Amino acid sequence: MAQVLCQLEITSNENLLVGLNTNDDAAVYKLNEEIAIVHTIDYFTPVVDDPYDFGQIAAANALSDVYAMGGTPLFALNVVCFPASYLDVLKEVLRGGNDKVKEAGAFIAGGHTIEDEEPKYGLSVTGIVNPRKVVKNSTAKPGDVLILTKPIGIGVINTAIKGEMCPPHVHSLAVDVMKYLNKDASQMMMEVGVNACTDITGFGLLGHAYEMASSSGVTIEFNKNAIPLIEGAKDLAEMGLIPGGCYRNKNYLKREVYLENVEDVLADLMFDPQTSGGLLISVEEEKADELYQKLNKKLKFGAFIVGCVRKKQDYDIYVK
Ligand code: CO
Ligand code: CO
């Protein structure tokens, strides 16, 4: 999608602080010296059977793009494509979205619905950020430490759920991970001050790290022994429950990522598309421990130091 958009003639505007050119998570438009709008939209087909869970997950995922940029969500609009015969189910989806947006301290102010045989739900979220403090994905610096705020493996687990091969406790854990807001993680990174951030979604850990590395003009090095996996994800990946998106990500990134003696199953999980994944934060080494301690103490699923940023080398990403 980004590739197609890049072929359009991009309109530039002096107040548009973040637009199409860096694959950032949201657009940022400066209103004045103190306030910029952070605006984003995200929606997708159901990833779980329970409509209330799905609503919460879709909302947490959409809000995440505002959090990744250091913004505070103000309000959101529902984006709904739904079959007319499933209004009871839709009610539960919307209740989930509404509750999650409320938890974020924002509210739903409207939306738009069209009839569609294949249900889809998401939100367009409007937030604010101080224009001098916008956190982009394109400003990681050599020497930075990389912190990830949720374990990975969601795509593999969702594939297992769809195939009815997921153990119930792994299923509920994955739903909890997806529903969990990146709100606290974002607030803490803003308190400490960081160089760059993105959230991990459909492009997988390696894909989003690649976007960060290439747009920042640096190389990212992951420590293969430090990659946090959701309990059960590795077993399911070993059973071959790999989503199509994982192969697409792998194929797209094959010339950008250098894997040094990395187990196949771990590589698959690092390419695995996530839904409502955590933040990948690039923070100066001197501040890294402080941020890590804070995050690890507060966040439900912990925080993980997964690698570091180096000067640009032959590959954008190394895993070793
Ligand atoms: Co994002
Ligand atoms: Co997004």
What does the pLDDT read at residue 7?
64
Q: Which residue in the block uniquely carries the two structure tokens 């940022």? A: 28
Q: Where does the chain show beta strands of DSSP type E?
A: 16-18, 27-30, 36-44, 72-82, 107-115, 120-129, 145-148, 196-199, 218-222, 257-259, 279-283, 304-311, 317-319
pLDDT above 70 (res 201): yes
Distance in Å, CA 198 to ligand 1 centroid: 6
Residue ranges and CATH numbers for the domains of the chain are: 2-129 (3.30.1330.10), 145-319 (3.90.650.10)
Burial bucket for residue 21 (CB in 10 Å: 0-12, 13-18, 19+): middle
All residues with CB under 5 Å from ion ligand 1: 25, 65, 199
pLDDT above 90 (res 210): yes
pLDDT band at residue 159 using 50, 70 and 90 as cut-offs? very high
Amino acid occupying residue 140: A
Mean pLDDT of 29-43: 96
List the 16-18 sheet strands across, edge first.
Answer: 16-18, 27-30, 36-44, 120-129, 72-82, 107-115
pLDDT band at residue 5 using 50, 70 and 90 as cut-offs? low
Q: What is the pLDDT of residues 244-280, one digit of tens each?
A: 999 999 999 999 999 999 999 999 999 999 999 999 9
pLDDT above 90 (res 175): yes
What is the pTM for the complete model shown? 0.95
- Helix, strand, or coil here: 284? coil
pLDDT above 90 (res 8): no
58, 125 in Cβ contact below 8 A? no
**Nearest CA to 271 among 180, 189, 207?**
207
What ligand is nearest to the CA atom of residue 41?
2
Q: What is the C-alpha to C-alpha distance for residues 93 and 80, in angstroms, rounded to an integer?
A: 10
What does the pLDDT read at residue 188?
98
Distance in Å, CA 201 to ligand 2 centroid: 7
What does the pLDDT read at residue 2?
53
Distance in Å, CA 138 to ligand 1 centroid: 13
pLDDT above 60 (res 1): no
pLDDT above 80 (res 189): yes
Q: What is the mean pLDDT of the chain?
A: 95
Report the alpha-carbon angle 166-170-173, nearest 5. Answer: 140
